[in-house]
Amino acid sequence: MAEEIIIANAEDKIYDSIVCYAPTMITTSGIWQGDNPLDYSLPLFIVQLTLVVVITRLLVFILKPIRQPRVIAEILGGVILGPSVLGRSSTFANTIFPQRSVMVLETMANIGLLYFLFLIGVEMDIAVLRRNSKKSLLIAMAGMILPCIIGSSFSVLLHDKSQNTKEGTFILFLGLALSVTSFPVLARILAELKLINSEIGRIAMSASLINDMLAWIVLAFAIAFTENKDMSLATLWVILSSIAFICVCFFVIRPLIERRISQTPEGESISEFNICLILTGVMISGFITDVIGTHSVFGAFVFGLIIPSGPLGLTLIERLEDFVSGLLLPLFFAISGLKTEISAIDSAATWGVLCVVIILACAGKVIGVVIVTLYYKMPFHEGLSLGLLMNAKGLVEIIVLNVGKDQKVLDEKSFAIMVIVAIGMTAVITPIVTIVYKPSRNFTPYKRRTVQKTKLDREFRVLVSIHTPKAVPTIISLLEASCPTKKSPICIYVLHLVELTGRASGMLIVHNMRKTGRPAMNRTQAQSDHIINAFENFEKSAGCVYVQPLTAISPYSTMHEDICVLAEEKRVALIIIPFHKQQTVDGGLETTNSSFRTINQNVLANAPCSVGILVDRGLTRSTMNQISHHVAVLFFGGPDDREALAYAWRMSEHANINLTVMRFLPGDTTIEGRKSNSGNDYSVLTVETERDREKQLDEEYVTEFRTKTGSDGSIVYIERIVNHGEETVGAIRSIDNSHDLFIVGRGQGTSSPLTAGLTDWSECPELGAIGDLLASSDFAMKASALVVQQYVGMGSGDPLITPDSPTVHYEPFNLDHSTHRQQPDFHSQQ
């Protein structure tokens, strides 16, 4: 059985615990043999790990509504399990976290920490420093200097004279803990705020990366100083050995890894042997840096930095991240919590010092960063937001504090104070930045949000969203038929939508159209390469077409935000999104992913411009590699139908496009008029007035279209008189099968007797009555269809309101009514 022996040295007031237990007490023989499982190390560790993960996840769920990063929940979870809350009960402390279990717990926690710091190094892109490198360096330095000065000022109040350590070393640790910015925590906060791809987000990430690297260098020096009380030859050897280790990693190990990975055949995944070599290298690097006198995580972090970006880095992240960050890393925060005793802050004066330290440390970083941003003529609110973001604390600071406590630089009170400072400074970031930073200030309103308002002698901007390469040929044919000319070139933003899996945060990747020659690292990359190559060839062959490919990696629940934000940023007139059903071999349509439908519905409800849903049944080139299409527009009236006619009008400018416009008119308006005018309800009168205004707009636009295209032999205009939905369906079915594309309006917010009854059996109400009919498997025609919704918002930045008609019962959308967060332009080719 385990036994604890307390050895006390009365003179120095130092207490040591020597824990003795039988080495065979790893696994229990079972409760039926009378054993207590918690007396054995493995069952006890399993209980501890389960408790830590459950409490951490519960806190993540509780803090999610107030948008707190996960690190807050992990630190708080450790504090709750420690002597400050649950640990105050001696029964709980001695049963669940007895002294004899600390060695196993700390060993596993440090292994998790080792691999987590390795993953941080892998995810860091050092190439980011080349962009805005001087600005980021100055911001990082300014964000470190003032907090260091503040920390040294308060060290006199926090330093215990009885501690067997120099005050200079104490100042070094305190200043480092206050000045550091946690790169992984900041990345999660920026992703939560949808700022990770904005200019301020990129500057913050670059500055925090520099800050983290400087922090590790300073920490290595600090450890060398604490382990050697005087600046001696041993300290110099520690520093020189660390520099030598870094040089060997970058100039010897990295080329060997690159050479090894280059031997992997194209299209094949990284071998298990190579993965095992890398994972073993992490342990060896940690061992070497621990032997030379710096912390083992420093070696793991540097080893992560030398992993080349590409298939190897992605494979390592996918295999390790969930296990390490979800299971092992919370153990490290639990250990930190077990060391945190808030009751050590035993006076009101100390609590007052704590509040002052939090306020002044935050203010110091903010002031330093704002000074640099004003020098670079950035807006004040951006500088303020950047300064607040640079206050993100978390893992790195907790590592610094743990090292300081293990080295007996920090006592119980100082350690508890700094842990609370880390929680307080990080917790206030997201709420304050949300209030201070309004990305919409960076945008000026633009008028050409619709195809109708985009003149035929102006640039036509289109955002195309693609899930799989299967939709690419039809979309390219549609864009080529949109008649790009020198007077009206088409600027196409191609957005490949990828579901976020196995990463901490979403991202938006801007691709270079030049081929790199590198093999695809996975299926997603292969699809992106296929899409990019197809549009690159289209750009070269079509002329007057400019393509910018991008990839958005985000959860399906927020993917529509990426589409809408990019559309707002690039000021596009039309978003084209694929229908959630794809054509099968027998010509029918089947659902590929139900999440695609939710994305489409959310885009329709939140888009800052017009939207077109493409029902793909094939729209390919004819012989001689030249397009030749027969397009039909079904016009019933309303803003969406006018937008559909505007797009078809643009396509009719193409020499090889034949256009048929079929306008449907009611046969008996008398009955309709009597129904509309019955009663004296003011709302009915308002609806009728609005309907008359829409009719007038329809007449004016159709008249303009017929006047300007009357002499064009490739355009046919037909009017059909119908009385109800059944006659409308019959008229549509009578159209000959030569047409390969139908363009129709969605008919949002309008009711018409011409479509009465068609919505009763709608499968996809988001397409509208006519669009749903054309996409139906019962419909005889096998032509593609583009269902268009015109933007009817009141102004730039306002969410789109799509009122549904009282007579049309749409299925409820799964909407996320979050504010559109626009981002500054990061696209080099405008």
* pLDDT tens-digit map of 109-158: 999 989 988 988 887 766 555 555 688 888 988 888 888 887 777 766 66
Q: Indicate the pLDDT class of residue 17, thresholds 50, 70 and 90.
A: low
Q: Indicate the pLDDT class of residue 829, thresholds 50, 70 and 90.
A: very low
| CA torsion angle 789 792 793 796 (round to 10) | 80
Name the least confident of 166-180, 484-498, 612-626.
Answer: 612-626
The residue with tokens 């009008």 is: 649
**Residue 541 pLDDT > 80:** yes
Q: Indicate the pLDDT class of residue 653, thresholds 50, 70 and 90.
A: confident
Q: How far is CA 703 from CA 310, 635, 665, 706, in A?
A: 57, 13, 15, 5
CA distance 395 to 403: 12
Q: Indicate the pLDDT class of residue 361, thresholds 50, 70 and 90.
A: confident
Q: Which tens digits make up the pLDDT trace of 783-820?
A: 888 999 998 763 333 333 333 333 333 233 232 333 33
Residue 581 confidence (pLDDT)? 85
- For the residues 317-322, what does the mean pLDDT come to? 84
- For the residues 770-786, what does the mean pLDDT come to? 80
575 alpha-carbon distance from chain centroid = 21
Q: Which residue has the higher pLDDT, 779 or 22?
A: 779
758 contacts 588 by C-beta, under 8 angstroms: no
Q: Which tens digits make up the pLDDT trace of 553-565?
A: 778 888 888 888 8
Share of the chain above pLDDT 70, in %: 78
Residue 229 confidence (pLDDT)? 55
**Could you say which DSSP state residue 804 is in?**
P
Residue 635 confidence (pLDDT)? 92
| CA torsion angle 115 117 120 126 (round to 10) | -120
The predicted model scores a pTM of 0.63
- Burial of 61 from C-beta contacts in 10 A (0-12 / 13-18 / 19+): exposed
The pair of three-digit structure tokens given for residue 211, joined into one six-digit string: 């800050």
- For the residues 774-791, what does the mean pLDDT come to? 82
**Residue 51 pLDDT > 90:** yes
HSE toward the beta carbon, residue 324, CA cutoff 13 A: 21
**Residue 214 pLDDT > 70:** yes
Residue 826 confidence (pLDDT)? 29
3-state secondary structure 535-555: HHHHHHHHCCEEEEEEEEEEC
| CA torsion angle 395 396 402 405 (round to 10) | -140
- For the residues 387-415, what does the mean pLDDT come to? 84
Q: Indicate the pLDDT class of residue 352, thresholds 50, 70 and 90.
A: confident
Rg (CA), the chain: 33
Residue 464 confidence (pLDDT)? 94
Residue 569 confidence (pLDDT)? 82
Residue 97: CB partners within 8 Å, gap ≥ 6? 48, 81, 87, 105, 338
Residue 47 confidence (pLDDT)? 93
- For the residues 246-252, what does the mean pLDDT come to? 93
